[in-house]
Amino acid sequence: MIIDITAQGGFGGITAAAMKKTIDVDQQPRQMQQELCDAFEPRELQRLTRTPCPDCADRLTYRITVTEGQENPQVFTLREDQLPPEMLDLIDQM
Amino acid sequence: MCLSLGCSSPHNPLNCIVPPHMLRVMALRGDDKTARMARSLLKQNAALRDERAEHVSPPPPAQDGGTFAPHAVSPAEGLCCPDRRIHDGDGKAALPGRLVRAEGDDATGDADVDLAYDGAGQVFSLFADEYGRNSLDGAGMPLIATVRHRRNYNNAFWNGDQMAYGTGDGEVFRTFLELSVIGHEMAHGVIQHSGGLIYENQSGALNESIADVFGALSLQRSLGQQIHDADWLVGRGILGPGINGVALRSMKAPGTAYADDLLGQDPQPWHMDHFVTTTEDNGGVHINSGIPNHAFYLFCNYIGGKSWELPGQVWYRALQQLNNPMASFQQWADQTMDAVTAIAGRGTIEAVLLRRAWKLVGIAI
Ligand SMILES: [Zn+2]
C-alpha cells in the first residue's frame, strides 16, 4: 500500500509551506505497518470525511491518496480537524 | 466612577483611586505583586457592581439609530481581566496539552509560553479597553492556547475553543508566536462569537481580513504606534532565515510581503480587478483578504492618529452589526459606512475618506 499526503491552506495560505509525503507501507517496520493500515483504511477515511467542521479558520486541508496493489488509487480530502490527533501524530512521524 | 463602585476596602487605597481601565492595565503589565493586587481589586469591583445591579432597574435599550445584531455584544458589565491558560503540546496533536502557565502565574522563562501568555493579555486588553468586550465571546471566556502544537508544524489556528501555535519547521517558518499572529487567531474567536463569517470565498476572505486587522491593531497598540509609523505587516519575522521576505502579508502593499524561490510571490491582490478565483484555500480566503485589508489601511492612512481608535471602532462596530455570515466585500463595505456614520456622523470627513478608501480598491459605496 502506498500513501501520498499533500496539504494546503493554513494561516499562511502558502502551499509550499505545507508538507508532501509518500510512504510505502510495505517498507515500514511491522508495528508501523499495522498502525498505518488501520489509520489509512479507505473505509475509515471515508467515514472521517463526513465529520462536521464547525469552525475551520486557518486549518490545513489534507489530500490523501491510498493505492493498494493494482487497484485504482482512492483519493480523500480531509480537513485537519476531521483527523483524530493520533492520526495527525502518525502523519508527523512519517 | 470610583464612587459608583463603592469604597468598601479601606485597606486597599488603590480601589478608590485607580479607575478600572487603569487597573486592567496594571493587571496586565504590572509586576507580579501589582498585577495580583489589581486583579483582586477588579474582581472586587465586579462583585460590587453585580450587588448594585440587583437593586436597580435595567437601563432602557440604547437609542443609537440601529438595532444590534443578535450576536452583538454590549459593552460588558463587570469587565475584569483575562483568564489565560497556556498549555504545552509537547509536539503532539492532542489539545490542549499540559497546562504550563495559568492566569497570575510568574513568567516561566520559556519564551514560547511567555509570548503566548503576554500576547493573549495584549489582545484581551485591546478588545476590553478600546471596545468594552469581555474576552473573545464577550462573556469572559478563558483564553486557552497551546504552544508547540505538533512537530515542525507550519501553522497557527483557532479551533473554535482555543488557539494553537506550531513551532514552524525552521525552514519556511521559524515561529508563530508574534503579536499580530496571536491577535489574528484570537480575532477569529471574536468573529465566531459575533455571528460569524462563513469560511469560504468572499465571506471567508472577510473573516481573514478582519482577523488581520485586529492582529495589526493589537501590535500597533502594544507599541504605541501612530498609523504613519506602523509597518502594517502581518507576521513580521516569522518566515524562516533563508526565505526572501519580511512577513506573511502586507496590508500597506498586498502582494509584496515575500518573493522567494520556494514560496513564490506573495499572491495577495489589493484591487477587485485582481480578485483571485480559485477552489484552493477555501476559495482563496488568505489571498483575497488583501483587498479589504488594503481598504482598512487606506482609511487609516487618510485619517492618521491611532489605528485602534476611530478606524478600529468602525471595524468593530461593523462586525457587531453585520448579522450576515455570507457577507460579500460590498456588503461589508456598506456595513463599515453605516458604522462610521453612527460613530462620526453622516457626511463627515471620516465618512468621505472611508468611501474613498473602498473606491480605491474597486468597491463603490
Ligand atoms: Zn486566519
Query: Quick check: is B190 in a domain?
Result: yes
Indicate yes or no: CB of A89 within 8 angstroms of CB of B150.
Answer: yes
Nearest beta carbon to residue B280 from set A8, A19, A88 = A8
Contacts of A15 in chain B (CB under 8 A): 280
Instruction: Give the Cα separation of B250 and B80 in Å (integer).
Output: 34
Query: Quick check: is B365 in a domain?
Result: no
Q: Kindly give the distance from the C-alpha atom of residue B298 to the centroid of ligand 1, in angstroms, as a whole number.
A: 21
Q: Which among B136, B128, B133 is positioned nearest to B160, based on CA atoms?
A: B136
Give the pLDDT mean for B238-262.
96
Q: Which among B191, B202, B193, B268 is positioned nearest to B234, based on CA atoms?
A: B268
DSSP, residue by residue, B249-317 = EESSSTT-SBEETTTEE----SSGGGPPP-SSHHHHHHHHTHHHHHHHHHHHHHH-S-TTTHHHHHHHH
**Which DSSP helix (H) or strand (E) runs through B339?**
helix B329-344
A16, closest residue in chain B (CA to CA): B263
Predicted pLDDT of residue B1: 30
DSSP, residue by residue, B26-87 = HHHHS-HHHHHHHHHHHHHHHHHHHHHHTTSPPPPPP-SSSPPPTT--PPPTT-----EEEE
Predicted pLDDT of residue A20: 85
Catalytic, out of B188, B286, B294, B350 = B286
Active site residue B185: yes
A59, closest residue in chain B (CA to CA): B157
Cell, residue B60: 432602557
Indicate yes or no: CB of B248 within 8 angstroms of CB of A17.
Answer: no
Give the CATH number for residue B14.
1.10.390.10
The C-alpha cell 463602585 sits at: B5
Instruction: Give the Cα separation of A24 and A3 in Å (integer).
Output: 7
Q: Kindly give the distance from the C-alpha atom of residue B324 to the centroid of ligand 1, in angstroms, as a whole number.
A: 19
Indicate yes or no: CB of B263 within 8 angstroms of CB of A16.
Answer: yes
Q: How far is CA B92 from CA A17, A45, B99, in A?
A: 19, 21, 14
ipTM of the complex: 0.91
Nearest beta carbon to residue B155 from set A60, A89, A92 = A60
Cell, residue B207: 473573516
Q: Kindly give the distance from the C-alpha atom of residue B186 to the centroid of ligand 1, in angstroms, as a whole number.
A: 9
Give the pLDDT mean for B271-299.
96
DSSP tag of B239? B
Query: Quick check: is B88 in a domain?
Result: yes
Which neighbouring-strand residues pair with A20?
Answer: A6
pLDDT band at B36, cuts 50/70/90?
Answer: low
Predicted pLDDT of residue A32: 87
Mean pLDDT, chain B, whole residue set: 86
Nearest beta carbon to residue A10 from set B95, B155, B160 = B155
Q: Kindly give the distance from the C-alpha atom of residue B212 to the centroid of ligand 1, in angstroms, as a whole number.
A: 7
Over residues B111-142, the pLDDT tens digits come to: 999 999 999 999 999 999 999 999 999 999 99
**From A69-73, B23-27, B324-328, the region with the lowest mean pLDDT:** B23-27
A83, closest residue in chain B (CA to CA): B93
Query: What total of structural domains would you count in chain A?
Result: 1
Contacts of B150 in chain A (CB under 8 A): 88-89, 92
Predicted pLDDT of residue B42: 55
**Per-run averaged pLDDT (10 residues), chain A, 94 residues:** 90 74 91 89 90 79 91 91 93 89
Instruction: Give the Cα separation of B145 and B37 in Å (integer).
Output: 25
Predicted pLDDT of residue B112: 98
Give the pLDDT mean for B41-64.
41
Domain residues for the domain of B14 are 2-56+74-360
Indicate yes or no: CB of A57 within 8 angstroms of CB of B286.
Answer: no
pLDDT band at B80, cuts 50/70/90?
Answer: confident
State yes or no: pLDDT of B67 exceeds 80.
no
CB B123 within 8 A of CB B182: yes
Over residues B301-318, the pLDDT tens digits come to: 999 999 999 999 999 999
Predicted pLDDT of residue B9: 37
Indicate yes or no: CB of A56 within 8 angstroms of CB of B286.
Answer: no
Over residues B145-186, the pLDDT tens digits come to: 999 999 999 999 999 999 999 999 999 999 999 999 999 999
Predicted pLDDT of residue B236: 98
DSSP, residue by residue, B118-142 = HHHHHHHHIIIIIH---STTSS---
Indicate yes or no: CB of B188 within 8 angstroms of CB of A81.
Answer: no
Provide the chain B residues 281-300 that lie in CB contact (below 8 A) with chain A.
281-282, 285-287
DSSP tag of B105? P
Domain residues for the domain of A20 are 2-93
How many CB atoms lie under 10 A from the CB of residue B13? Answer: 10
Q: Kindly give the distance from the C-alpha atom of residue A57 to the centroid of ligand 1, in angstroms, as a whole number.
A: 5
Query: What total of structural domains would you count in chain B?
Result: 1
Q: Which among B360, B308, B312, B306 is positioned nearest to B340, based on CA atoms?
A: B312
Over residues B184-219, the pLDDT tens digits come to: 999 999 999 998 999 999 999 999 999 999 999 999
pLDDT band at B47, cuts 50/70/90?
Answer: very low
Q: Which amino acid, B196?
A: G
A82, closest residue in chain B (CA to CA): B159
Which neighbouring-strand residues pair with B157?
Answer: B164
User: Long-range contact list for B334-338, CB < 8 A, 24+ apart?
Assistant: B334/B365, B337/B365, B338/B66
Residue partners of A20: CB distance under 8 A and separation at least 6: A4, A5, A6, A7
Predicted pLDDT of residue A54: 64
Give the pLDDT mean for B210-231.
98
Q: Is the dihedral of CA A11, B82, B336, B195 positive or negative?
A: positive
Q: How many CB pairs under 8 A join A and B?
A: 90
Task: Look at the pTM and tell me if it is higher than 0.95.
Answer: no
Query: Quick check: is B61 in a domain?
Result: no
Nearest beta carbon to residue A89 from set B92, B156, B185 = B92
Instruction: Give the Cα separation of A21 and A27 in Å (integer).
Output: 15
Instruction: Give the Cα separation of B227 and B305 in Å (integer).
Output: 6
Give the pLDDT mean for B71-78.
65
Predicted pLDDT of residue B148: 98
Predicted pLDDT of residue B27: 55
Beta strand B264-265 with B84-88 is unpaired
Buried b or exposed e, range B260-291, using 16+ CB within 10 angstroms? beebeebbbbbeeebbbeeeebbbbbbbbbbb
Contacts of B159 in chain A (CB under 8 A): 55, 59, 81
State yes or no: pLDDT of B259 exceeds 60.
yes
User: 3-class SS at A20?
Assistant: strand
State how far Cα A32 lies from the chain centre: 15
Query: Quick check: is B62 in a domain?
Result: no
The alpha-carbon gap from B263 to the nearest alpha carbon of chain A, in Å, equals 6
Predicted pLDDT of residue B59: 33
Share of chain B above pLDDT 70, in %: 79
Provide the chain B residues 165-184 that lie in CB contact (below 8 A) with chain A.
172-173, 176, 181, 184
State yes or no: pLDDT of B63 exceeds 50.
no
